Structure 1
Amino acid sequence: MIKKMMCVLFVLVLTVALAACAGTGSKGTEDDKPTNTGSGNASTNPSTNTPNGASSELVVVSFGGNMAETQRKAIYKPFEEKYKVKIREVSPTDLGKLKAMVESGNVEWDVVDVGADFAFRGGKQGLLEKLDYNVIQKDGIYPEFVSDYGIGAYLFYVPIAYSLSDYSEDNHPKTWSEFWDTQKFPGKRSLWSIPQITMEQALLADGVKKEELYPLDIDRAFKSLDKIKKNVSVFWKNGDQPAQALVGGDASLATGYNGRLMNARKDGVPIGIEYNQVTVGGDAWVIPKGSKNKDLAMKFIAFATEPEQQANLSKINDIAPANKKSYELLSEEDKTRLGIKGTEQSQVIINMEYWAENYDQINERYQKWMMEK
């Protein structure tokens, strides 16, 4: 009798188990669809695929901080909603790690925000995928930030900044020649500790026209820097230092990232910003060679460089769009805040291809010059 009851019980358990398995299978397709949970650093199951076979997770690398927050709102979340994929954010950008990934054949990143000069250099070094300009529209993007391997992500301005304790909005240097004029505009200066953009400023101060800057006359640039060196109190390394130098009295005049300078102003720091002859650099989106999601990465870059997303970046943060068509989507107030209004003709766009070829040797000389008394 006991054996008979055990047999019946076994059959019942087996029947329930089989029914459970059948139930899971019937709804498995729905449960396996990627869930749009928003951007963040949490990882998802890498085996989950979209219907076209690509991974449902795109790994996007940026420099982090406030810029990453801006990109999340203006680009990542709208892209996730449009393509029903998950973006996993990684920061900060690390070019050494990118190179190691490509050389080892174990590429974990799909899209990377880099300095625009690396798009030229990394492409020549075989570290990047060629961009598909049948997918990505480069029309409207500043041509100085377009190459086979990268395209402009956003622009950053390096203007003249001045302490409102020492100068006023009516009386301050309005050109690089005046920034260099220590007789007319006395006081300590703060310059960037890297040569890119600083060399251009030195040559503009010495009278070189912006159309005749390249190739840079480096000997002339250093002679120009020699004229101001004794008045340079701070060679800044991070974006917060110029504002700190101005408010702390270490400098009366400085160069600096306009976004960081604007943030300081919003916090009540008494500094002014002059956008005439503003020097313009920028970042670019690239795809590491061997990305497992190259096609989706192309779509991401196409989306990120469209006028609407570019304009939304500039509405949230004090950075200029790399796409000129975005200007039509910005208010006059936005254009004034960003330093765009009335300055397009005087802007000095940095030649990133030149710096990709010449940065190392110029930087070595510049670092030695800074150390010399």
Structure 2
Amino acid sequence: MLKKVLIMGAMTTIISIAAACGNSSSEKSSGGKDKTDTLVIADWGGAITEAREDSIFEPFEKEFGVKIQVESPTDYGKYKTMVESGNVTWDVANVGSMWAAQAIKQDMFEPIDYDIVSKDGLFPNMANEYYVGAEMFSTAIAYNTEAFPDGNHPKTWEEFWDIEKFPGVRALSKRPYDTIEAALLADGVKPENLYPLDIDRAFKSLDKLKSRTEIVWWEAGAQPAELLSSGTVAATSAWSGRITAAKKDGAPVDIEYNQALLNSEAWSIPKGSKNKELAMKFINFATRAEPQSAFSESIDYSPINEKAIELLPSDVKERLGQAPEIADKQVRVNEEYWAEHFEEINQRFQEWLLK
């Protein structure tokens, strides 16, 4: 804040005192007054941003004496335009890890300063040179509990494909990411042998499912729970948090974490950020065990910090698929592979859908 110090009878000069709140990111407004340090964060909005408000954003503001301004949703087109033009207004952005892996090649990010951002407790694949994991979620087998009562539901992708034993319409994501992995697991590929993906084999597996039953293709995360609740499909792939939320609300749905496909989202700093040091401090704070644990207790996304998982109550661990006996059965999606091959696989997938 600019302070005008008037020394009567001795000085008439206005002395400007610039307040530096631990870094040099304070900016002057056109009116000549200092602005409170503000960190601009791009996030997805909705329930996930609301969960971050209490668990991460407000505690960070309190600890560092700054203001967080959230812009939502994250817009990849805007991200790219800002960086290319040099007019960067975001300091931190939450992005999908697959997109992040692609964006590295386009020189979109500031490198992460691991002298500021601690790797303590982070899963090894969550600490990338240019981005840090924010949260994890699973694409899992979800099912209608009226169609498959008493635990008699598909527990593997191979059983999901078995319409004779587990009858009913199926639904899958209308994107190759996750769907190709599910098709290969259904065809007997071992999780440790998934990558590089055998695309020909995957499409043969999808052909088999298509010949056995109707497949409904979903595009929005809310659709699987709606399809299951209405009885339109008996089983579907689904984002785990959407199903657990619907189950809490009394919908006849449940989830199977065995062979669930584990994905993540990440914190990134746009190249040219004007508040880089504070952005690093935010990422360090947001990935610590305590904020991560608080976040996962308020919304069904899993921590990217192992120590945060240790802090979660047993029922939350189980709901998130992070109880030890469940977590080990999930399959980590290779986002770097998809960053390299998404365009060619997606083109073939979309052509296959039209057949």
Q: TM-score, normalised to structure 1's length?
A: 0.85
Matching residue of 1:41? none
Which structure 2 residues correspond to residues 16-95 of structure 1 after superposition, within 5 A? 46-47=27-28, 56-95=37-76
CA contact (8 A) 2:173 2:217 kept: yes
Cα separation, partners in 2 of 1:136 and 1:232, compared to 1, 3 Å: farther
Q: Check whether the contact 1:144–1:352 (CA below 8 A) recurs between aligned residues.
A: no
Aligned residue for 1:234, secondary structure, equals strand
Residue identity opposite 1:370 in structure 2: L
State how many pairs are aligned.
Answer: 337
- Matched AA of 2:169: K
Q: Is the alpha carbon distance of 1:98 and 1:355 closer, same or farther for their aligned partners in structure 2, counting shifts above 3 Å?
A: same
Structure 2 unmatched ranges of 5 or more: 1-5
1:252 to 219, 224, 234: 234
Matched, 1:193 2:180: no
What letter matches 1:234 in structure 2?
A: V
Is 1:368 paired with 2:341? no
Q: Which residue identity lines up with residue 203 of structure 2 in the other structure? A: F
Secondary structure (helix, strand or coil) at the match of 1:186 reads coil
Look up the SS of the partner of 2:133 in the other structure.
Answer: strand
- The structure 1 segments of at least 4 consecutive aligned residues displaced by more than 6 Å after TM superposition are none
**3-state SS of 1:343 partner:** helix
Q: Counterpart in 1 of 2:268? A: 286
Q: 1:156 aligns with which of 111, 134, 137?
A: 137
Whole-Å Cα distance in 1 between the matches of residues 40 and 47 of structure 2?
19
Partner residue in 2 for 1:37: none
Greater displacement, 55-64 / 77-86: 55-64
Tell me the residue number matched to 2:3: none
Shift of 1:199: 1.0
**Which AA in structure 2 matches 1:299?**
K
Unpaired runs of 5+ residues, structure 1, are: 1-16, 35-44
Q: Does 1:213 align with 2:189?
A: no
* SS class of match (2:272): coil
1:64-104 C-alpha deviation (Å, 9 max, x unpaired): 11000011111111110111010000000111101000111
After superposition, the C-alpha distances for 1:267-322 in whole angstroms (9 at most, x for unaligned) are 11111211111111010000000000011101111111111111111110011111
Q: Name the aligned partner's letter for residue 74 of structure 2.
A: T
Aligned letter for 2:160?
F
Deviations 1:312-358 (A, max 9, x none): 11110011111112111111111112121121221101111111111
Render the CA deviation track for 1:40-70: whole Å, top value 9, x for unaligned. xxxxx9527xxxx997000001111100001
Report the CA distance between 1:183 and its aligned residue: 1.1
Partners in 2 of 1:137 and 1:102 — Cα distance? 26
Structure with greater Cα Rg: 1
What corresponds to 1:325 in structure 2?
307
The structure with the largest helix share of the pair is: 1
Structure 2 length normalisation: TM-score? 0.89
Q: From the superposition, tell whether residues 235 and 145 of structure 1 become closer, same or farther in structure 2 (CA, over 3 Å).
A: farther
Q: Could you tell me whether the CA contact under 8 Å between 1:314 and 1:320 is conserved in 2?
A: yes
1:5 aligns with: none
From 192, 202, 206, the equivalent of 2:183 is 202
**What SS does the corresponding residue of 1:118 show, helix, strand or coil?**
helix
1:301 is aligned to 2:301: no
Partner of 1:361, secondary structure, is helix
CA RMSD of aligned residues (A): 2.4
Post-superposition CA distance 1:11-31 (Å, at most 9, x none): xxxxxx998xx9xx79x979x
Contact 1:121 / 1:356 at 8 angstroms: preserved in 2? yes
Equivalent residues of 1:101, 1:108 under 8 A apart? yes
Q: Percent identity?
A: 47
Take 1:54 and 1:143, find their aligned partners in 2: how far apart are those partners? 38
SS at match of 1:256: strand
The separation in 2 between residues aligned to 1:46 and 1:163, in whole angstroms, is 55
Corresponding position: 1:183 with 2:185: no
1:228-243 matches, within 5 Å, as 228-230=209-211, 231-243=213-225
User: Please, which of 203, 224, 238 is the counterpart of residue 222 of structure 1?
Assistant: 203
Range moving further from structure 2, 169-178 or 289-298: 169-178
Q: Against the structure 1 CA distance between its residues 29 and 265, is the aligned structure 2 distance closer, same or farther, given a 3 Å change threshold?
A: farther
Equivalent residue for 1:335, pick from 317, 320, 325 = 317
